[in-house]
Amino acid sequence: MKLYNSLTHTVEEFVPNEPGKVSMYTCGPTVYHFAHIGNLRSYIMEDVLEKYMRYVGYDVKRVMNITDVGHLTSDGDTGDDKMLKGAKREKKTVMEIAQFYTDAFFADCAKLNIKTPDVVQPATGCIDDFIKVITSLIEKGYAYEAGGNIYFDTSKLSQYYVFGDFREEDLAVGVREGVEADSNKKNKADFVLWFTKSKFDDQELKWDSPWGVGYPGWHIECSCISMKNLGEYLDIHCGGIDNQFPHHTNEIAQSEAYIGHKWCNYWFHVHHLNTTGGKMSKSKGEFLTVSLLESKGYDPLVYRFFCLQSHYRKSLVFSYENLDNAKVAYDKLVARCAQLVSANDTAGVNADDFAKLKALFTNAMDDDVNTSNGITAVYDVLKADTNPATKLALLEDFDKVLSIGIVEKAKKLASEDNQSDVPADILELAQKRAEARKAKNFALADELREQISQMGYAIEETRQGTKITKKV
Ligand SMILES: [Zn+2]
What is the secondary structure of 343-368 as a DSSP string? T---S---HHHHHHHHHHHHHHHHBT
**The Cα angle at residue 198 between residues 104 and 186, in degrees rounded to 5:** 110
Strand order across the beta sheet in which 234-240 lies: 119-122, 59-66, 21-26, 234-240, 264-270
- Kindly provide the b/e burial profile for residues 346-364, where b requires at least 16 CB atoms within 10 angstroms of the residue's own CB: eeebbeebbeebbebbbeb
What is the 342 CA–ligand 1 centroid distance (Å)? 47
Handedness of CA 295, 299, 303, 306 (dihedral sign): negative
The pLDDT assigned to 180 comes to: 58
CA of 64 from ligand 1 middle (Å) equals: 9
CA of 223 to the centre of ligand 1 (A): 7
Residue 181 Cα to ligand 1 middle (Å): 23
Per DSSP, what are the bridge partners of residue 249? Answer: none
CA 29 to ligand 1 center in whole angstroms: 9
Distance 67 CA to ligand 1 centre (A): 9
Query: How many other C-beta atoms are found inside a 10 Å radius of the C-beta of residue 305?
Result: 25
Q: Please tell me the distance between residue 222's alpha carbon and the centre of ligand 1 in angstroms.
A: 5
How many other C-beta atoms are found inside a 10 Å radius of the C-beta of residue 153?
21
CA of 250 from ligand 1 middle (Å) equals: 9
Instruction: Count Cβ atoms below 10 Å from residue 423 Cβ, excluding itself.
Output: 13
**pLDDT, tens digit only, all 472 positions of the chain:** 999 999 999 999 999 999 999 999 999 999 999 999 999 999 999 999 999 999 999 999 999 999 998 787 776 677 778 888 888 899 999 899 999 999 999 999 999 999 999 999 999 999 999 999 999 999 999 999 998 899 999 999 999 989 986 555 555 443 434 445 788 899 989 999 999 876 666 777 889 999 999 999 999 999 999 999 999 999 999 999 999 999 999 999 999 999 999 999 999 999 999 988 877 777 777 889 999 999 999 999 999 999 999 999 999 999 999 999 999 999 999 999 999 998 888 889 999 999 999 999 999 999 999 999 999 999 999 999 999 999 999 999 999 999 999 999 998 888 776 545 677 788 888 888 888 888 888 899 999 999 999 998 888 776 556 777 888 7
pLDDT of residue 299: 96
CA of 162 to the centre of ligand 1 (A): 16
Q: Measure the CA–CA gap between 461 and 446, rounded to whole angstroms.
A: 13
DSSP-assigned states of every residue in 288-344: --HHHHHHTT--HHHHHHHHHTS-TTS-EEE-HHHHHHHHHHHHHHHHHHHHHHHT-
Q: Is the dihedral of CA 386, 388, 390, 391 positive or negative?
A: positive
Between the CA of 173 and the centroid of ligand 1 the distance, in Å, is: 18
DSSP 198: -
Please tell me whether residue 379 adopts helix, strand or coil conformation.
helix
Backbone angles phi, psi at 136, to 5 degrees: -65, -40
- What is the rounded distance in angstroms from the CA atom of residue 93 to the CA atom of residue 89? 10
Point out which residues pair with 121 in neighbouring strands.
65
Distance 249 CA to ligand 1 centre (A): 10
Ligand 1 midpoint to CA 224 (Å)? 10
Yes or no: say if 404 and 305 are a contact pair by the CB < 8 Å rule.
Answer: yes
How close is the Cα of 395 to the center of ligand 1, in Å? 34
Strands 72-74 and 78-81: antiparallel
CA 54 from centroid of its chain's CA atoms: 18
Task: Output the CA 248–ligand 1 centroid distance in Å.
Answer: 6
* Cβ contacts of 368 within 8 Å, gap of 6 or more: 2, 3, 4, 11, 311, 313
pLDDT of residue 448: 92
Report the separation in Å between the CA atom of 43 and the middle of ligand 1, taken as the mean of its atom positions: 13
Ligand 1 centroid from CA 278, angstroms = 24
Residue type, 341: V
How many Å lie between the centroid of ligand 1 and the Cα of residue 246? 10
What is d(CA 255, CA 339) in angstroms, rounded to the nearest whole number? 53
Distance 247 CA to ligand 1 centre (A): 6
The structure's pTM equals 0.86
Q: How far is the CA of 266 from the centre of ligand 1 (A)?
A: 15
CA-based nearest residue to 244, from 270, 283, 280: 270
Distances (CA, A) of 180 to 9, 70, 172, 176: 34, 18, 10, 9
Helix (H) or strand (E) holding 106: helix 94-111
Is 215 within 8 Å of 197 (Cβ atoms)?
no
